[in-house]
Amino acid sequence: MEQVKVSLITGDGIGPEISRATRRIIDSSSAKIDWEIVETNPRQEDGDVIIDRMISSIEETSVGLKGPITTPIGSGYSSLTVALRKKLNLYANVRPVKKLLGLGPNFQAGDVDLVTVRENTEGLYSGIEHEIAGEYAESIKLVTRKGSEKIARFAFEYAKSEEREKVTAIHKANILKQSDGLFLDTARGISRDYPGIKLDEKIVDNMAMQLILHPEDYEILLAPNLYGDILSDLSAGLIGGLGVAPGGNFGDDLVVFEAVHGSAPDIAGQNVANPLGLLRSGIMMLNHVDQPEAAGEIEAAVDKVLEEREVLTPDLGGNSTTTELTDEIIGYL
């Protein structure tokens, strides 16, 4: 098997801890990965310098595995993660959630096996914002037919390749008749090219409730940027929380895999962060670079650790450290 070059963007907050853990586990499997380490610390360096470093590495390797990067709330620098997705046109954010052994919410939820396919470059995250004298603020929700077509086609192609039967388009087109109306109308148009896959439609607030009551009824959620961001965190809550939920940002040629969660400043530097969200993003990465055996080995080792329930980080109800969980997984490889 040929060695594959992958950019490992370490991130900040819990990023360095979980990317170190993920790298150790992947390197202990049969995977053949040649890591290009890209360090990112927005508190020490200018954002543009970090963005340029991430972009040049990913353009060279075509595949990234990325730790989370902090964005200050309300003021300060803009999100480097959002900028990276936009600059590389990583228009599809794919976030699968599937019931994991022994994990789940504190209430009865059915078997969960759904994937959020979120539009990743426009909508309310287009970054067009104005404020006048602290009295007036406006954030533009930008929706284009071209962008909506790309993400709808991606969702249906993904459904086809995964042999899924239903795509649920999420919207608020009853109120946002123009922007969400365009998104929904485009999804309806694209769905006609896929007669074997049903197009289901849900208003976003109802969707949030349905995911709590009947998550087993859903397969692929096709969502505009903001709704997809929120509902994918909700979905992560159905399988054990943010600590275990993986994801990938797909463009036409480039892909950056990253966990759903952020930099978790409240637990950073304490060696208690759960590395499974990033590790499971790494499993998606290994399948993507055609190393399914290594992906399967790591998945089996994670299942064993979850089944045993002896070594778990605090977010999963245990009291083990990141390092102990990492060592336990490596022990099964």
Residues forming the site for ligand NAI (CB under 6 A): 14, 18, 68-71, 81, 242-243, 258, 261-267, 273-274, 277, 315
Does residue 244 contact residue 189 with C-beta atoms inside 8 Å?
no
Cβ neighbours around 234 below 10 Å, total = 15
> In the complex with ligand NAI, which residue's Cβ is closer, 81 or 179?
81
Q: How far is the CB of 150 from ligand NAI (least distance, A)?
A: 21
Would you list the DSSP string of 68-132? -----SSSSSPPHHHHHHHHTT--EEEEEEEPPTT---SS-----EEEEEEE-SSBTTS--EEEE
User: Which one, 168 or 251, has the nearer CB to ligand NAI?
Assistant: 251
Q: Which is nearer to ligand NAI, 170 or 245 (CB)?
A: 245
Q: Which is nearer to ligand NAI, 39 or 258 (CB)?
A: 258
CB of 198 to ligand NAI, least distance (A): 31
Contact between residue 274 and residue 244 where contact means Cβ atoms under 8 Å apart: yes
CB of 263 to ligand NAI, least distance (A): 4
Residue showing the smallest CB distance to ligand NAI in the complex: 262
Q: What is the SS3 assignment for 210?
A: helix
Smallest distance from ligand NAI to CB 202, Å: 24
Closer Cβ to ligand NAI, 191 or 249, answer by number: 249
Q: Shortest distance, CB of residue 238 to ligand NAI, whole angstroms?
A: 15
Cβ distance to ligand NAI smaller for residue 70 or 148: 70
CA 110, distance to chain mean position in Å, is: 22
CB of residue 313 to ligand NAI, shortest distance in Å: 6
How does DSSP assign 144-197, residue by residue?
-HHHHHHHHHHHHHHHHHTT--EEEEEE-TTTSTTHHHHHHHHHHHHHTT-TTS
